[in-house]
Amino acid sequence: GFISIPLKFCPLGPGHYPCKILLTSNYDVRVYYIEGVVNEDQPEATFEFETPALEPLTQNIPLTNETKKEWKCQVKIEGKWFSGPSIFHVRPNETVQYPLTFKPISECEIMGKLTLKNEVDGMEHIFNIKGIGKKPLAFGTIIMNCKVGDIANKSILVPNYSMTIVTFEVSSDLPIIAGNLQITIEPNNSGSYVINACPLKRGILKGIKSIYKIIYQDQELFHNPLLILSIVFVVVSLGFVLFCISDEELRNLRIWYYLEIHTSPGPPQNIIEVECISLETNCIEVPISNPKDEIIHIDVIFTNPALSGFQELTLNPLESVNYIAWYSPATTGYKEERYGLGVALYSILLL
């Protein structure tokens, strides 16, 4: 038969407690080897991760095996956006780094726990983990080259990191930017979105294209223009294309690109030929009209110091005026100069 031997185990702290029990009689000697394994009642350490959304950050967590047996550890990770190998091996008398990665897809703060359980003796190593997702970095810079008055387009990829179909609704604070009002993207996929630009002013323009409403499974879950406006006012000087997604799990996802529109002058509206005697002044009249029902303000740019006139012009609704420019050449010869009126009009002077 069998009998039970009571054994009392009172560990003073976590760790391994090997023990040998010797049983003797007049007819038999038996030896039993036992080992007590005591786990920590508190996590061994806390690791904090801080990274921009969509940017992975990996920390190596050391684990030391001071025994004579190889450890095979089962890994359990609690906490969204944390990942790492599910099996971990540590040879005797070695220290191995466990690679734990945090890759948030939105701005967030996540608390979690990492548990490494040794299959050999059942001992657990527990670590607290904290992940902080910051504002994401730009996916890249979108540069569009076009001429004043012409329509240019650029195709960009917009990813959907969720596991359901998502429809983005698009808006922009730049009047020269246009495109489809919505874009629908399949789960865990990317969709192509075409940006159209029709600039009325030469130079380098920077602005924002934002997507501020999400339709999720045919139901509108998010519509907060004030939130997007706050983003616009904070970073409008940078210029970017912004795509936002918002549901209960991905409510702060932002995917954005820097946007620059490089605009060169288009063909002139008119060619005016002027003849003038050197050191004398000629008057040049250019008819300008305002077809809109609102007041417009026009800036005037000259390319030669011999040309002069008012640098600003204000036209009332439906008003027509003759803009007067003065030409005072200091030398003789034939020259071709330009002057610009407003955002889209300029003329060539043959002097």
Look at residue 74 and tell me if it is in a domain: yes
332: containing domain: 270-350
Q: Which pLDDT belongs to residue 23?
A: 86
Query: Residue 239 and residue 213: Cα distance in Å, rounded?
Result: 20
Residue 99 above 70 pLDDT? Answer: yes
- Using the structure block, give the residue that is written with the tokens 């005026």: 321
Of 38 and 91, more confident = 91
When pLDDT is averaged across residues 245-258 and rounded to a whole number, the result is 62
User: Residues 159, 257: one domain?
Assistant: yes
Pick from 134, 151, 177: which residue ends a domain?
Answer: 134
Look at residue 241 and tell me if it is in a domain: yes
Pick from 217, 235, 264: which residue ends a domain?
Answer: 264
User: Residues 159, 179: one domain?
Assistant: yes
Look at residue 25 and tell me if it is in a domain: no
Q: How many Cβ atoms are within 10 Å of 5's Cβ, its own excluded? A: 7
Look at residue 306 and tell me if it is in a domain: yes
Of 157 and 49, more confident = 49
Of 201 and 343, more confident = 201
Sorting pLDDT into bands at 50, 70 and 90, what band is 204? confident
Residue 77 above 90 pLDDT? Answer: yes
User: Residues 157, 112: one domain?
Assistant: no
Q: Which pLDDT belongs to residue 340?
A: 54
The listed range with the strongest mean pLDDT (168-177, 213-222, 237-246, 249-258) is 168-177
User: Residues 129, 146: one domain?
Assistant: no
Q: Which pLDDT belongs to residue 216?
A: 36
Query: Residue 167 and residue 184: Cα distance in Å, rounded?
Result: 4
Sorting pLDDT into bands at 50, 70 and 90, what band is 115? very high
User: Residues 243, 321: one domain?
Assistant: no
The CATH number given to whatever domain includes residue 340 is: 2.60.40.10
Q: Which pLDDT belongs to residue 229?
A: 25
The listed range with the strongest mean pLDDT (4-13, 66-75, 198-207, 246-255) is 66-75
When pLDDT is averaged across residues 333-339 and rounded to a whole number, the result is 63
Q: Which pLDDT belongs to residue 112?
A: 95
Residue 211 above 50 pLDDT? Answer: no
Sorting pLDDT into bands at 50, 70 and 90, what band is 45? confident
Q: In angstroms, how far is the first alpha carbon of the chain from the final one? A: 123
Residue 325 above 60 pLDDT? Answer: yes
Look at residue 94 and tell me if it is in a domain: yes
User: Residues 182, 129: one domain?
Assistant: no
When pLDDT is averaged across residues 339-344 and rounded to a whole number, the result is 50
User: Residues 200, 121: one domain?
Assistant: no
Number of domains comprising the chain: 3
Look at residue 5 and tell me if it is in a domain: no
User: Residues 281, 337: one domain?
Assistant: yes
Query: Residue 127 and residue 77: Cα distance in Å, rounded?
Result: 10
Look at residue 249 and tell me if it is in a domain: yes
Look at residue 212 and tell me if it is in a domain: yes
User: Residues 294, 334: one domain?
Assistant: yes
Of 196 and 331, more confident = 196
On average, the pLDDT of the chain sits at 76
Pairing type for strands 141-147 and 253-264 reads parallel
Percentage of residues in the chain with pLDDT exceeding 70? 77
